[in-house]
Protein backbone atom coordinates (compact mmCIF):
# COMPACT_ATOMS: atom_id res chain seq x y z
CA UNK A 1 0.00 0.00 0.00
CA UNK A 2 1.69 3.18 -1.17
CA UNK A 3 0.88 6.38 0.67
CA UNK A 4 1.96 9.90 -0.03
CA UNK A 5 3.05 11.60 3.16
CA UNK A 6 1.52 14.92 4.13
CA UNK A 7 3.55 18.00 3.33
CA UNK A 8 3.70 21.01 5.59
CA UNK A 9 2.26 24.37 4.74
CA UNK A 10 -1.03 25.84 3.67
CA UNK A 11 -4.02 23.56 3.87
CA UNK A 12 -2.28 21.02 6.08
CA UNK A 13 -5.40 20.39 8.15
CA UNK A 14 -7.50 19.65 5.02
CA UNK A 15 -4.75 17.39 3.70
CA UNK A 16 -4.62 15.50 6.98
CA UNK A 17 -8.38 15.13 7.24
CA UNK A 18 -8.59 13.83 3.68
CA UNK A 19 -5.72 11.39 4.37
CA UNK A 20 -7.25 10.13 7.61
CA UNK A 21 -10.63 9.48 6.00
CA UNK A 22 -8.92 7.61 3.17
CA UNK A 23 -7.02 5.45 5.66
CA UNK A 24 -3.46 6.75 5.23
CA UNK A 25 -1.22 5.91 8.19
CA UNK A 26 1.32 8.72 7.66
CA UNK A 27 -1.53 11.23 7.72
CA UNK A 28 -2.99 9.82 10.93
CA UNK A 29 0.49 9.80 12.49
CA UNK A 30 1.16 13.43 11.53
CA UNK A 31 -2.26 14.54 12.72
CA UNK A 32 -1.67 13.03 16.16
CA UNK A 33 1.61 14.95 16.44
CA UNK A 34 -0.04 18.26 15.55
CA UNK A 35 -2.75 17.67 18.13
CA UNK A 36 -0.24 16.65 20.80
CA UNK A 37 1.90 19.70 20.03
CA UNK A 38 -1.14 21.98 20.34
CA UNK A 39 -0.38 23.35 16.88
CA UNK A 40 -2.72 25.99 15.48
CA UNK A 41 -3.62 23.76 12.53
CA UNK A 42 -5.01 21.17 14.95
CA UNK A 43 -8.03 23.33 15.81
CA UNK A 44 -9.46 23.19 12.30
CA UNK A 45 -8.56 19.53 11.87
CA UNK A 46 -10.28 18.50 15.10
CA UNK A 47 -13.37 20.55 14.29
CA UNK A 48 -13.88 18.23 11.31
CA UNK A 49 -12.69 15.07 13.02
CA UNK A 50 -15.26 15.30 15.81
CA UNK A 51 -18.01 15.36 13.19
CA UNK A 52 -16.64 12.16 11.65
CA UNK A 53 -16.57 10.00 14.75
CA UNK A 54 -17.73 6.44 14.32
CA UNK A 55 -17.87 5.39 17.97
CA UNK A 56 -15.14 2.85 18.37
CA UNK A 57 -15.08 0.95 21.65
CA UNK A 58 -12.47 2.30 24.03
CA UNK A 59 -10.79 0.01 26.56
CA UNK A 60 -8.45 1.43 29.20
CA UNK A 61 -5.66 -0.63 30.73
CA UNK A 62 -4.19 0.72 33.95
CA UNK A 63 -2.22 -0.51 36.97
CA UNK A 64 1.02 -0.09 38.89
CA UNK A 65 4.35 0.07 37.05
CA UNK A 66 5.54 -3.26 35.70
CA UNK A 67 2.42 -5.33 36.38
CA UNK A 68 2.27 -6.31 32.71
CA UNK A 69 0.02 -3.71 31.09
CA UNK A 70 1.88 -3.56 27.77
CA UNK A 71 2.15 -7.34 27.55
CA UNK A 72 -1.61 -7.53 28.11
CA UNK A 73 -2.28 -4.85 25.50
CA UNK A 74 -0.21 -6.87 23.02
CA UNK A 75 -2.35 -9.89 23.90
CA UNK A 76 -5.60 -7.92 23.59
CA UNK A 77 -4.55 -6.77 20.13
CA UNK A 78 -4.16 -10.43 19.13
CA UNK A 79 -7.54 -11.38 20.59
CA UNK A 80 -9.33 -8.49 18.88
CA UNK A 81 -7.61 -9.29 15.58
CA UNK A 82 -8.72 -12.90 15.74
CA UNK A 83 -12.27 -11.56 16.06
CA UNK A 84 -11.64 -9.59 12.86
CA UNK A 85 -11.58 -6.21 14.64
CA UNK A 86 -9.05 -3.49 13.77
CA UNK A 87 -7.21 -1.94 16.72
CA UNK A 88 -5.63 1.41 17.56
CA UNK A 89 -3.40 1.51 20.64
CA UNK A 90 -2.37 4.55 22.65
CA UNK A 91 0.40 3.88 25.19
CA UNK A 92 1.29 6.70 27.58
CA UNK A 93 4.58 7.05 29.48
CA UNK A 94 5.74 9.85 31.78
CA UNK A 95 7.77 12.83 30.62
CA UNK A 96 10.90 13.59 32.61
CA UNK A 97 10.29 16.71 34.69
CA UNK A 98 13.95 17.63 34.36
CA UNK A 99 14.55 17.60 30.62
CA UNK A 100 11.03 17.53 29.19
CA UNK A 101 12.10 14.43 27.28
CA UNK A 102 10.76 10.91 27.65
CA UNK A 103 11.61 7.31 26.92
CA UNK A 104 8.53 5.58 25.60
CA UNK A 105 9.21 1.90 26.18
CA UNK A 106 5.88 0.15 25.85
CA UNK A 107 6.54 -0.94 22.27
CA UNK A 108 9.20 -3.32 23.52
CA UNK A 109 6.34 -5.69 24.49
CA UNK A 110 4.60 -5.47 21.13
CA UNK A 111 5.76 -8.72 19.58
CA UNK A 112 2.90 -9.72 17.29
CA UNK A 113 0.91 -7.82 14.67
CA UNK A 114 3.86 -5.48 14.26
CA UNK A 115 3.25 -4.98 10.54
CA UNK A 116 -0.47 -5.70 10.49
CA UNK A 117 -2.29 -2.99 8.52
CA UNK A 118 -5.27 -3.32 10.85
CA UNK A 119 -3.20 -2.38 13.92
CA UNK A 120 -1.84 1.06 14.77
CA UNK A 121 0.26 1.63 17.88
CA UNK A 122 1.15 5.10 19.11
CA UNK A 123 3.31 6.04 22.12
CA UNK A 124 2.54 9.32 23.86
CA UNK A 125 4.31 11.20 26.65
CA UNK A 126 2.43 12.91 29.49
CA UNK A 127 4.27 16.22 28.90
CA UNK A 128 3.62 17.25 32.48
CA UNK A 129 -0.07 16.45 32.41
CA UNK A 130 -1.34 14.73 35.56
CA UNK A 131 -3.91 11.97 35.72
CA UNK A 132 -2.03 9.22 33.90
CA UNK A 133 -2.67 10.33 30.31
CA UNK A 134 -1.50 13.08 27.98
CA UNK A 135 -3.59 16.24 27.87
CA UNK A 136 -4.85 15.46 24.39
CA UNK A 137 -5.58 11.74 24.78
CA UNK A 138 -9.29 12.43 24.20
CA UNK A 139 -8.49 14.12 20.89
CA UNK A 140 -6.14 11.31 19.84
CA UNK A 141 -8.96 8.83 20.51
CA UNK A 142 -11.21 10.95 18.27
CA UNK A 143 -8.59 10.88 15.49
CA UNK A 144 -8.23 7.11 15.68
CA UNK A 145 -12.00 6.77 15.75
CA UNK A 146 -12.42 8.90 12.64
CA UNK A 147 -9.71 6.83 10.92
CA UNK A 148 -11.95 3.86 11.50
CA UNK A 149 -10.53 1.51 14.13
CA UNK A 150 -13.10 -0.82 15.69
CA UNK A 151 -11.29 -0.96 19.01
CA UNK A 152 -9.11 1.61 20.74
CA UNK A 153 -6.96 0.43 23.63
CA UNK A 154 -5.35 2.98 25.95
CA UNK A 155 -2.49 2.03 28.29
CA UNK A 156 -1.99 4.60 31.05
CA UNK A 157 1.29 5.41 32.75
CA UNK A 158 2.16 3.07 35.62
CA UNK A 159 -0.60 4.28 37.88
CA UNK A 160 -1.29 4.34 41.59
CA UNK A 161 -3.90 6.35 43.38
CA UNK A 162 -4.51 9.48 41.40
CA UNK A 163 -3.98 8.50 37.79
CA UNK A 164 -7.65 7.89 37.17
CA UNK A 165 -8.37 10.05 34.10
CA UNK A 166 -8.74 6.91 32.05
CA UNK A 167 -12.23 6.37 33.48
CA UNK A 168 -13.35 9.52 31.70
CA UNK A 169 -12.36 8.27 28.27
CA UNK A 170 -12.73 4.48 28.36
CA UNK A 171 -16.02 2.66 28.37
CA UNK A 172 -14.35 -0.26 30.08
CA UNK A 173 -11.41 0.11 32.45
CA UNK A 174 -9.25 -2.94 33.04
CA UNK A 175 -7.23 -2.63 36.24
CA UNK A 176 -4.18 -4.89 36.16
CA UNK A 177 -2.67 -6.25 39.36
CA UNK A 178 0.04 -8.76 40.13
CA UNK A 179 0.40 -11.21 43.04
CA UNK A 180 1.92 -10.29 46.34
CA UNK A 181 1.09 -6.67 46.17
CA UNK A 182 -0.70 -7.35 49.48
CA UNK A 183 0.00 -3.97 50.98
CA UNK A 184 -0.30 -2.46 47.56
CA UNK A 185 -3.88 -3.54 47.19
CA UNK A 186 -4.54 -1.67 50.42
CA UNK A 187 -2.62 1.34 49.26
CA UNK A 188 -4.30 1.71 45.91
CA UNK A 189 -7.82 0.81 46.90
CA UNK A 190 -8.85 4.43 47.13
CA UNK A 191 -7.61 5.15 43.63
CA UNK A 192 -7.51 2.85 40.71
CA UNK A 193 -9.28 -0.05 42.42
CA UNK A 194 -12.44 2.02 42.44
CA UNK A 195 -12.44 2.64 38.72
CA UNK A 196 -12.02 -0.98 37.59
CA UNK A 197 -14.80 -2.52 35.50
CA UNK A 198 -12.72 -5.65 35.03
CA UNK A 199 -9.86 -6.80 37.24
CA UNK A 200 -6.99 -8.63 35.65
CA UNK A 201 -4.74 -10.50 38.04
CA UNK A 202 -1.70 -10.94 35.84
CA UNK A 203 1.42 -12.99 36.55
CA UNK A 204 -0.86 -15.71 37.86
CA UNK A 205 2.11 -18.05 37.40
CA UNK A 206 3.82 -16.41 40.38
CA UNK A 207 3.25 -17.60 43.94
CA UNK A 208 0.66 -15.76 45.99
CA UNK A 209 -1.82 -15.31 43.11
CA UNK A 210 -4.70 -17.01 44.93
CA UNK A 211 -4.21 -14.91 48.03
CA UNK A 212 -4.12 -11.69 46.02
CA UNK A 213 -7.30 -12.77 44.25
CA UNK A 214 -9.01 -13.11 47.62
CA UNK A 215 -7.72 -9.67 48.63
CA UNK A 216 -9.24 -8.11 45.54
CA UNK A 217 -12.45 -10.05 46.11
CA UNK A 218 -12.68 -8.60 49.61
CA UNK A 219 -12.02 -5.11 48.36
CA UNK A 220 -14.81 -5.52 45.82
CA UNK A 221 -17.20 -6.62 48.55
CA UNK A 222 -16.75 -3.19 50.10
CA UNK A 223 -17.74 -1.45 46.92
CA UNK A 224 -21.17 0.03 46.59
CA UNK A 225 -23.65 -2.40 45.03
CA UNK A 226 -24.42 -1.71 41.41
CA UNK A 227 -25.76 -3.66 38.48
CA UNK A 228 -22.24 -4.74 37.58
CA UNK A 229 -19.95 -6.84 39.72
CA UNK A 230 -16.41 -6.51 38.29
CA UNK A 231 -15.06 -9.95 37.42
CA UNK A 232 -11.50 -10.96 38.32
CA UNK A 233 -9.67 -12.64 35.44
CA UNK A 234 -6.41 -14.50 36.08
CA UNK A 235 -3.88 -14.11 33.25
CA UNK A 236 -0.34 -14.99 32.30
CA UNK A 237 0.13 -12.36 29.68
CA UNK A 238 3.60 -13.49 28.59
CA UNK A 239 2.16 -16.86 27.47
CA UNK A 240 -1.30 -15.64 26.46
CA UNK A 241 -3.03 -17.69 29.16
CA UNK A 242 -6.35 -16.15 30.19
CA UNK A 243 -6.43 -13.44 27.54
CA UNK A 244 -9.51 -14.73 25.74
CA UNK A 245 -11.31 -14.77 29.11
CA UNK A 246 -10.18 -11.19 29.58
CA UNK A 247 -11.67 -10.16 26.24
CA UNK A 248 -14.88 -12.02 27.14
CA UNK A 249 -15.07 -10.05 30.38
CA UNK A 250 -14.55 -6.78 28.50
CA UNK A 251 -17.27 -7.72 26.02
CA UNK A 252 -19.68 -8.66 28.83
CA UNK A 253 -19.12 -5.29 30.43
CA UNK A 254 -19.85 -3.62 27.14
CA UNK A 255 -23.10 -5.53 26.78
CA UNK A 256 -24.01 -4.48 30.29
CA UNK A 257 -23.36 -0.82 29.42
CA UNK A 258 -25.61 -1.06 26.40
CA UNK A 259 -28.45 -2.94 28.11
CA UNK A 260 -28.39 -0.71 31.19
CA UNK A 261 -28.30 2.51 29.18
CA UNK A 262 -25.06 3.52 30.89
CA UNK A 263 -23.17 3.75 27.61
CA UNK A 264 -24.81 7.07 26.80
CA UNK A 265 -23.89 8.38 30.23
CA UNK A 266 -20.27 7.34 29.64
CA UNK A 267 -20.19 9.24 26.37
CA UNK A 268 -21.48 12.38 28.09
CA UNK A 269 -18.85 11.94 30.77
CA UNK A 270 -16.08 11.71 28.20
CA UNK A 271 -17.34 14.79 26.36
CA UNK A 272 -17.43 16.67 29.64
CA UNK A 273 -13.84 15.60 30.36
CA UNK A 274 -12.55 16.91 27.04
CA UNK A 275 -14.55 20.11 27.44
CA UNK A 276 -13.12 20.50 30.92
CA UNK A 277 -9.59 20.04 29.62
CA UNK A 278 -10.05 22.80 27.06
CA UNK A 279 -11.92 25.12 29.40
CA UNK A 280 -9.12 25.05 31.94
CA UNK A 281 -6.52 25.40 29.21
CA UNK A 282 -8.26 28.41 27.66
CA UNK A 283 -9.21 30.19 30.87
CA UNK A 284 -5.81 29.74 32.51
CA UNK A 285 -4.14 30.93 29.33
CA UNK A 286 -6.38 33.96 29.06
CA UNK A 287 -6.00 35.03 32.68
CA UNK A 288 -2.23 34.60 32.71
CA UNK A 289 -1.84 36.40 29.41
CA UNK A 290 -3.83 39.50 30.26
CA UNK A 291 -2.51 39.55 33.82
CA UNK A 292 0.97 39.65 32.39
CA UNK A 293 0.10 42.49 30.04
CA UNK A 294 -1.43 44.83 32.63
CA UNK A 295 1.02 43.99 35.41
CA UNK A 296 -1.51 42.42 37.77
CA UNK A 297 0.35 39.11 37.69
CA UNK A 298 3.53 40.83 38.81
CA UNK A 299 1.64 42.66 41.60
CA UNK A 300 0.09 39.39 42.79
CA UNK A 301 3.50 37.72 42.91
CA UNK A 302 4.89 40.65 44.91
CA UNK A 303 1.98 40.49 47.36
CA UNK A 304 2.60 36.80 47.82
CA UNK A 305 6.32 37.13 48.49
CA UNK A 306 5.81 40.01 50.90
CA UNK A 307 3.12 38.08 52.74
CA UNK A 308 0.47 40.71 51.98
CA UNK A 309 -1.89 38.29 50.36
CA UNK A 310 -2.65 34.60 49.92
CA UNK A 311 -2.87 32.50 46.74
CA UNK A 312 -6.62 31.97 46.82
CA UNK A 313 -7.34 35.68 47.19
CA UNK A 314 -4.86 36.55 44.44
CA UNK A 315 -6.34 33.96 42.09
CA UNK A 316 -9.93 35.12 42.71
CA UNK A 317 -8.94 38.71 42.07
CA UNK A 318 -7.16 37.79 38.86
CA UNK A 319 -10.14 35.79 37.64
CA UNK A 320 -12.54 38.60 38.53
CA UNK A 321 -10.36 41.12 36.77
CA UNK A 322 -9.62 39.22 33.59
CA UNK A 323 -12.45 36.79 32.95
CA UNK A 324 -15.43 39.08 33.31
Ligand X SMILES: Nc1nc2c(ncn2[C@@H]2O[C@H](COP(=O)(O)OP(=O)(O)OP(=O)(O)O)[C@@H](O)[C@H]2O)c(=O)[nH]1
Binding residues vs ligand X (CB under 6 A)? 65-71, 106, 109, 158, 202-203, 205-206, 236-238
CB atoms within 10 A of CB 297: 18
306 touches, from Mg ion, another protein, ligand X, none (C-beta below 5 to 8 Å by class): none
Supply the minimum distance, in Å, between the C-beta of residue 232 and Mg ion.
Answer: 21
Q: Are strands 172-177 and 198-201 parallel, antiparallel or unpaired?
A: parallel
Supply the minimum distance, in Å, between the C-beta of residue 182 and ligand X.
Answer: 17
Q: Taking CA 58 as the corner, what is the angle to CA 57 and CA 64, rounded to the nearest 5 degrees?
A: 150
For position 163 contacting Mg ion by CB under 5 A, the verdict is no
Query: Cβ closer to ligand X: 62 or 270?
Result: 62
Sign of the CA dihedral with 101 first, then 19, 268, and 166 last: negative
Supply the minimum distance, in Å, between the C-beta of residue 100 and another protein.
Answer: 4
For position 106 contacting Mg ion by CB under 5 A, the verdict is yes
Site stretch for Mg ion (CB under 5 A), options 50-58, 70-78, 124-132, 282-290? 70-78
**b/e sequence 119-136, b meaning 16+ C-beta within 10 Å:** bbbbbbbbbebebbbbbb
Find how far residue 210's CA is from the centre of its chain: 30
> Which of 27, 69, 129, 322 touches Mg ion by CB under 5 A?
69
What is the dihedral angle through the alpha carbons of 182, 184, 189, 192, rounded to the nearest 10 degrees?
-130
Rounded Cα distance between 95 and 161, Å, is 18
Q: Which residues contact 37 (CB under 8 A, 6 or more apart)?
A: none
Supply the minimum distance, in Å, between the C-beta of residue 306 and ligand X.
Answer: 44
> Which of 11, 14, 22, 38 touches another protein by CB under 8 A?
38
Supply the minimum distance, in Å, between the C-beta of residue 88 and another protein.
Answer: 10
CA distances from 270 to 6, 32, 225, 265, 296 (A): 30, 19, 23, 9, 35
For position 25 contacting another protein by CB under 8 A, the verdict is yes
Encoded one letter per residue, x for contact with another protein by CB under 8 A and - for no contact, window 96-135 reads: x-xxxxxxxx-xxxx---xx----xxxx-x-x--------
Residue numbers of the site for another protein (CB under 8 A)?
2-5, 8, 25-26, 29-30, 32-33, 36-39, 95-96, 98-105, 107-110, 114-115, 120-123, 125, 127
Amino acid sequence: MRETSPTRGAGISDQLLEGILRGSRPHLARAISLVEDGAGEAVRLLSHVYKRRRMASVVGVTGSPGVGKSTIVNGLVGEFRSLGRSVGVIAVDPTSPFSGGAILGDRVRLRTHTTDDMVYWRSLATRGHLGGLSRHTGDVIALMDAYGFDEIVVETVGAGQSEVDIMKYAETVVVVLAPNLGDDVQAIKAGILEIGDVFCLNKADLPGAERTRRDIEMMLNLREESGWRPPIVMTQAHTGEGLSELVNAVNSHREYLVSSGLLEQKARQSHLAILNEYLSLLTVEKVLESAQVDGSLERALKDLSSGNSDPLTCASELVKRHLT
